[in-house]
Structure 1
Amino acid sequence: MVQKFAAYGSDVASGTYKCADCGYKYSNQSRKSMPPCPDLNKKPHSKHGWYIVSGQGDAAEDPYPDN
């Protein structure tokens, strides 16, 4: 099952992601842990994660599989 949300710190596949709080777009070219949004300190962020726009999203080895 492909998830639609990846929390900060989730291991993900390459793809395009959009901040769940402010809409900032982020492209990830290789599997790695999702960073916090660069605008985290500029605007309020309560969801602390990314919506998956393209790609497979959370990896099977995701440290936060329930998010």
Structure 2
Amino acid sequence: MQKVYAPNGSDVSAGTYECADCGYEYSNQSKKSLPPCPQRLDSVHVQNGWKILSGQGDAVEDPYPTKSGK
């Protein structure tokens, strides 16, 4: 089952992501951590994550970026 949501800071593959709060689209060309939405200061953001439009989303090796113990 493919994931449809990735929280800020998740390690993801290249793809296109949409802010779960405001709809801002972000394209990631290489594997890296998802940043916070750049529009988070302009409007209320409570979900603090991204909808996965294309790409693999949250990496299996880092499923929960806010949990410690790595």
- What amino acid sits opposite 2:19 in the alignment? C
Match of 1:50 in 2: 50
Instruction: Please say if 1:61 is aligned against 2:52.
Output: no
Moved more, 53-62 or 26-35: 53-62
**Structure 2 portions without partners, runs of 5+:** 66-70
The TM-score normalised by the length of structure 1 is 0.90
Match of 1:7 in 2: 7
- What amino acid sits opposite 2:33 in the alignment? S
- What amino acid sits opposite 2:58 in the alignment? D
Equivalent-residue separation in structure 1 for 2:44 and 2:9 (angstroms): 18
The TM-score normalised by the length of structure 2 is 0.87
Query: What is the RMSD computed on CA atoms of the aligned residues?
Result: 1.2
Instruction: Please say if 1:28 is aligned against 2:28.
Output: yes
The alignment covers a number of residue pairs equal to 65
**Structure 1 portions without partners, runs of 5+:** none
Q: Identity rate of aligned residues, in percent?
A: 63
Equivalent-residue separation in structure 2 for 1:63 and 1:32 (angstroms): 13
